């Protein structure tokens, strides 16, 4: 790409721009590896604006590695609830536990300084390790994430799928070649900041870019076309049905996080419910094949151990949700009872107080659909000690026919 005086000018301009115009973010201005590590994990596939409140609240409860390592996992997940991609939180705590458990004589509860030791931790890949080690310890490692890859592709006018075999390695070599070894932490953040604020996927702001004169993509007039779009996986439609039990006190019932299924060969299925509820507390939920009412009633009978008690299902407003390539429609039903059933794997809590447990955004949306005044298409909530629906099973099925 560049060398000699041209590369020196490129580095000088980008670093000067970053130091003057960088965003004031809570994890900037610190060399604490724990705080930098936490920010990098939270920022994976999540917007900065969404991360900030979670980051600050998480640090209040878990200010250091040891506190995180010793905390109950459910509490860690509760503070992560709503941020999504919960494996990040589980791996974060597992890594903290491994750091704390290191033998005496090694560094205390500190993120490792060596690249191979960092990569050995759960949830730490090449990008995350380079980011933490360069920013916290000044290690001469260049980061390569989506933002940096886009910047490099435009600078070098690189065509094609950036994730194609061999191309990502070429991008890493480009990142290594332009790295400012005198300020690797600032440099990596400058490259990421440029991609996040000016060299954006759509409508790059080339007139404001501090290094536009070095960009081959701009010179060729193809900057906006780069990088070329990847072929996305075809979306898959998934339908779920969920049961929201509510008693006369406004309390509901949530099932415990699903246990790990050993030997399961269908956990990767698009409609795998434990995956869709992020393996957290959830309403009784099933994947629907044909008839939401009949299939949900059959599942609830199994849940109650074959009890044939009569359940009246009141359709609520349908809920939309998306997880990676899945387009999910949830058909929630309100079931009003005088007394909630006792189930070993369930807990009872106020419908408007689910934040006390770790739940997924899918579960949060289902709960919202059952709150008073949640949706215009929802039927009026039956009054009294459980009430009765006027519609029987077939009528209820007709009421949700439009969801199929």
Report how far residue 396's alpha carbon sits from residue 404's, in angstroms, rounded to the nearest whole number: 13
Rg (the chain; Cα; Å): 26
Three-point CA angle 215, 189, 51, nearest 5°: 120
C-alpha atoms less than 13 angstroms from C-alpha of 204 in its C-beta half-sphere:
28
Tokens of 295: 């299939």
Tokens of 223: 């900057």
Report how far residue 80's alpha carbon sits from residue 54's, in angstroms, rounded to the nearest whole number: 7
Residues 379 and 333: beta-carbon distance below 8 Å = no
Q: Work out the angle between the directed axes of helices 87-100 and 73-80 (0-180°, nearest 10).
A: 140
Report how far residue 344's alpha carbon sits from residue 107's, in angstroms, rounded to the nearest whole number: 44
If DSSP codes are grouped into helix, strand and coil, which group holds residue 105? coil
Based on the residue annotation, tell me whether 75 is a catalytic residue of this protein: no
Report how far residue 70's alpha carbon sits from residue 93's, in angstroms, rounded to the nearest whole number: 9
Report how far residue 256's alpha carbon sits from residue 264's, in angstroms, rounded to the nearest whole number: 19
Which of 232-259 are b and which e, b meaning 16 or more Cβ less than 10 Å from the residue's Cβ? Answer: eeeeeebbbbbbbbbbeeeebbbbebbe
Catalytic residue among 6, 40, 70, 295: 40
Residues 6+ apart with CB under 8 A from 131: 36, 40, 143, 188
CA dihedral 180, 185, 191, 195 (to 10 degrees): 180
Query: Which residue, among 145, 146, 149, has the nearest Cα to 132 in the 3D structure?
Result: 145
Catalytic residues: 40
């Amino acid at each position: 790409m560049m060398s000699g005086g041209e590369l020196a000018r490129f580095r000088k301009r980008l670093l000067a721009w970053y130091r003057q115009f960088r965003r004031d973010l809570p994890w900037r201005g610190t060399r604490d590896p724990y705080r930098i590590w936490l920010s990098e994990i939270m920022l994976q596939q999540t917007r900065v604006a969404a991360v900030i409140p979670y980051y600050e609240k998480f640090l209040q409860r878990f200010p250091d590695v040891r506190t995180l390592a010793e905390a109950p996992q459910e509490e860690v997940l509760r503070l992560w609830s709503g941020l999504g991609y919960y494996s990040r939180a589980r791996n974060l705590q597992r890594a903290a536990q491994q750091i704390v458990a290191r033998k005496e004589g090694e560094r205390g509860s500190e993120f490792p300084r060596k690249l191979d030791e960092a990569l050995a931790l759960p949830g730490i890949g090449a990008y995350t390790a380079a980011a933490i080690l360069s920013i916290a310890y000044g290690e001469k490692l260049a980061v390569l994430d989506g933002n940096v890859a886009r910047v490099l592709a435009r600078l070098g006018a690189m065509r094609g799928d950036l994730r194609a075999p061999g191309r990502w390695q070429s991008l890493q070599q480009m990142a290594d070649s332009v790295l400012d070894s005198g300020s690797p932490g600032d440099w990596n953040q400058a490259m990421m900041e440029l991609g996040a604020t000016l060299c954006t996927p759509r409508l790059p702001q080339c007139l404001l870019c501090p290094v536009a004169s070095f960009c081959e993509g701009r010179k060729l007039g193809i900057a906006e076309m780069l990088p070329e779009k990847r072929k996305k996986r075809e979306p898959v439609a998934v339908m779920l049905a969920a049961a929201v039990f509510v008693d006369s006190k406004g309390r509901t019932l949530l099932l415990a996080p699903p246990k790990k299924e050993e030997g399961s060969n269908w956990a990767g299925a698009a409609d795998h419910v434990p995956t869709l509820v992020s393996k957290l507390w959830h309403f009784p939920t099933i994947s629907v094949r044909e008839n939401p009412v009949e299939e949900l009633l059959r599942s609830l009978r199994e849940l109650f151990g074959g009890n044939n008690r009569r359940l009246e299902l009141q359709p609520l407003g349908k809920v939309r949700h998306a997880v990676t390539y899945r387009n999910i429609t949830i058909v929630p039903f309100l079931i009003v009872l005088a007394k909630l059933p006792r189930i070993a794997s369930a807990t009872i809590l106020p419908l408007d107080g689910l934040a006390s447990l770790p739940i997924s955004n899918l579960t949060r949306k289902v709960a919202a659909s059952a709150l008073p005044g949640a949706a215009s298409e929802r039927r009026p909530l039956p009054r009294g000690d459980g009430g009765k629906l006027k519609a029987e099973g077939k009528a209820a099925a007709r009421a949700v026919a439009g969801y199929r």
